[in-house]
Amino acid sequence: MSSAQVLNVTLPALSAGWSADKDFKAVGKVSAATQRNLEPVGPHFLAHARRSRHHRTFSEDERIQAQQNVKKTEDDEDDEISEDEDSMMLQRDAKDWKGQDHYAVLGLTKYRWRATPEQVKRAHRKKVLRHHPDKKAALGDRDENDSFFKCIQKATEILSDPAKRRQFDSVDEAADVEPPSKKQSQKGDFFKLWAPVFEAEGRFSKIQPVPQLGDDNSTFEEVDTFYNFWYNFDSWRTFEYLDEDVPDDGESRDQKRHVEKKNANARRKRKTEDITRLRHLVDDCAALDERIKKFRKAARADKDKKRLDKEAEAKRLAEEKENARLAEEKAKKDAEEAAKADREKAKKTKEAAKNAAKKNKRVLKGSVKDVNYFAESGDPSGSQVDSVLTDVDFINSKIDNEELASLAERLTAAGKDVAAVKNVYTEEFKRLIGAGKAKEGEAKFFA
Question: Domain 364-435 is of which CATH architecture?
Answer: Orthogonal Bundle (1.10)
Q: What is the pLDDT of residues 267-325, one digit of tens each?
A: 999 999 999 999 999 999 999 999 999 999 999 999 999 999 999 999 999 999 999 99
Closest to 424 in 3D by CA, of 381, 360, 380: 360
| 137, amino acid identity | A
Whether the predicted pLDDT of 1 surpasses 50: no
d(CA 391, CA 400): 16
How far is CA 138 from each of CA 63, 125, 130, rounded to the nearest angstrom?
11, 17, 11
Q: What is the pLDDT of residues 373-425, one digit of tens each?
A: 888 777 888 888 888 888 888 888 888 888 888 888 888 888 888 888 888 88
d(CA 395, CA 117): 133
Is pTM beyond 0.85? Reply is no
Q: What is the pLDDT of residues 81-91, one digit of tens each?
A: 657 777 788 78
CA angle 171, 173, 177 (to 5 degrees): 130
**Residue 349: CB partners within 8 Å, gap ≥ 6?**
none
d(CA 406, CA 373): 21
Q: What is the pLDDT of residues 170-211, one digit of tens each?
A: 999 989 999 999 888 888 899 999 999 999 999 999 999 999
> What CATH number matches the domain at 79-172, 1.10.287.110, 2.160.10.10, 2.40.50.100, 1.20.120.140?
1.10.287.110
Q: What is the mean pLDDT of the chain?
A: 85
Residue 144: helix, strand or coil by DSSP? coil
Partners of residue 235 on adjacent β-strands:
205
- CB under 8 Å, gap of 24 or more: what pairs does 56-62 form? 58/1, 59/1
How far is CA 308 from each of CA 293, 313, 321, 322, rounded to the nearest angstrom?
22, 8, 19, 20
Answer left, alpha or beta for residue 443, where phi above 0 means left and psi between -120 and 50 means alpha: beta
Q: What percent of the chain has pLDDT over 70?
A: 91
DSSP string, 375-427: -SSSSPPHHHHHHHHHHHHHHHHHS-HHHHHHHHHHHHHHTT-HHHHHHHHHH
Mean pLDDT of 41-60: 85
Whether the predicted pLDDT of 78 surpasses 70: no
pLDDT for residue 416: 84
pLDDT for residue 249: 64
Whether the predicted pLDDT of 140 surpasses 60: no
Domain boundaries, the chain: 79-172, 176-288, 364-435
d(CA 232, CA 207): 11
Residue 281: φ, ψ to 5°? -65, -45
Q: What is the pLDDT of residues 92-139, one digit of tens each?
A: 888 888 889 999 999 999 999 999 999 999 999 888 888 887 766 655
For residue 75, name the pLDDT band (cuts at 50, 70, 90).
low
pLDDT for residue 143: 55
Lowest mean pLDDT among 6-10, 210-214, 267-271: 6-10
Residue, of 354 and 220, whose pLDDT is higher: 220
